[in-house]
Amino acid sequence: MRISHLHVWDKKNKGDYAIVLAVQELLKKQFPKCQIIDFPINLLKDGKPSDAKKINSNDFVVIGGGGIFYSYFLPYNQEFIKSITKPIAIFGAGYIKEVDAPELNLVASASVAYLAKQAKFVGVRDNNTKKFLIKNGVVAKKIEVIGDPAALLSEKKTTKLIIDNKKSSSLKIGLNLNYSGWLGFGKWHGDILSAYREVAQYFQENYNAQIYYLKHHPGENQIYPELKIKNLKLVDLKPSEQKYIYGRLDIIVGMMLHVGVMSFGAGTPEISVAYDLRNHSFAEFIGHKELVVDLKDLKNGELLKRVKMLFAKKEKYKKEFIKIREEIKDKQIKFLNKLK
């Protein structure tokens, strides 16, 4: 069995890389002897007939996961999509709309809808992505909401960073900022850093907390030193090892979507600072809208307030996350069984 897998392929971005690894782990479990051939998602926009021929040389096509319904990759070329003759499955794909970004134009939206209509199976990561497709003419019953595959990424124990929960009773908190190219960061720069510092200071002074910076993108090297948090420790590992470390932490405060998805998958509760609709979409999908703080509320001390709430209920959230993760796993296996 040979599978053409079209996806975002940025190994420098742990979130993008984690999604690819997770999808391919799931495919290999369902199709044990399969061979997966990687293709960049941008072929849907500017692919050539020779690219379509290579894609069609395999048995079927998987597109996603990740936020592939994003202005950067659009509009898709409908003629190219039409030239893909093998069955298409969209798996764990998501819609992206950053804070202050304009709505997708009609041509871009229509091209996404065309892809979904051409696909044999459509599985999206959240309800807002489903609403987006329905709004643009895709029949609702064709779309399954199956969650984000990165939540199921396998964890690999690492010796590069030792966090021993048995020997240390101090609280362990992870932080992450989004500095991967989101143009709106400058507008909220001061509010974001002040809110993060307030959280770190409170938990260091009251709980002797150890603070870890969870790096997901090389661009963050330019911003996380500005936090000026004492004894801040950097976590910069391969995705499976990074997720393992997330499971050793008590709580996480993040911005990048897949910091939240991977911490959820590791059973660690996270408060997400929303720079994009997708932060809200994920929290809504797992049934916990309260785990997101909007940028406009940072000045009012809302981040510290939510993190205190999370800290008080962290054991409750951990138990719930494990249960919900199993539900996501069931949905994704059922979806893949249809392909099988």
**If residue 293 lies in a helix (H) or strand (E), which one and from where to where?**
strand 292-294
The answer, yes or no, to whether residue 338 has pLDDT greater than 80, is: yes
Kindly give the residue spans of alpha helices, DSSP state H, lying in the chain: 14-30, 43-46, 49-56, 78-82, 106-118, 127-135, 185-207, 239-246, 257-265, 277-285, 302-312, 314-339
Indicate the SS3 state at residue 261.
helix
Q: How far apart are CA 116 and CA 96, in angstroms?
A: 16
Q: Token digits for 180?
A: 């991967």
Quickly state the pLDDT bin for 80 (edges 50, 70, 90). very high
Beta bridge partner(s), residue 98: 276
Tell me: the pLDDT tens digits for 171-222?
999 999 999 888 889 899 999 999 999 999 999 999 999 999 999 999 999 9
Residue-level pLDDT at 10: 84
Identical fold between 2-150+325-339 and 172-324:
yes
Looking at CATH, the fold of the domain delimited by 2-150+325-339 is given as: Rossmann fold (3.40.50)
pLDDT in tens, 122-159: 999 999 999 999 999 999 999 999 999 999 999 999 88
Q: Tell me the domain boundaries of the chain.
A: 2-150+325-339, 172-324
3-state helix, strand, coil in the chain (%, to 5): 50, 20, 30
State the sign of the Cα–Cα–Cα–Cα dihedral 120, 283, 314, 153: positive
Q: How confident is the model over 97-103, as a mean pLDDT?
A: 89
Provide the 3-class DSSP secondary structure of residue 167: coil
pLDDT of residue 221: 95
Per-residue pLDDT band for 164 (boundaries 50, 70, 90) equals low
User: What pLDDT sits at residue 231?
Assistant: 92
pLDDT at 167 over 60: no
pLDDT at residue 11, rounded to an integer: 86
Beta bridge partners of 274: 294
Evaluate whether 81 touches 44 at the Cβ level (below 8 Å).
Answer: yes
Average pLDDT over residues 91-100: 93
Weakest-pLDDT range from 3-17, 80-94, 166-180: 166-180
Average pLDDT over the chain, rounded to an integer: 94
Report pLDDT for 68: 92
pLDDT in tens, 311-334: 999 999 999 999 999 999 999 999
Architecture in CATH of 172-324: 3-Layer(aba) Sandwich (3.40)
Q: Name the residue among 250, 243, 237, 112 with its Cα closest to residue 171.
A: 250
Q: Within 13 Å, how many C-alpha atoms sit on residue 24's CB side?
A: 20
pTM for the whole thing? Answer: 0.93
CA-wise closest residue to 317 among 305, 329, 309:
309
- Asked if the model's pLDDT at residue 170 lies above 90, the reply is no
Residue 139 makes CB contacts below 8 A (sequence gap 6+) with none
Q: What phi, psi does 48 have (nearest 5°)?
A: -105, 165
Q: Which amino acid is at 55?
A: I
Q: pLDDT for 260-300, tens place per residue?
A: 999 999 999 999 999 999 999 999 999 999 999 999 999 99
Looking at residue 176, the DSSP 8-state letter turns out to be -
The whole-number pLDDT of residue 160 equals 75
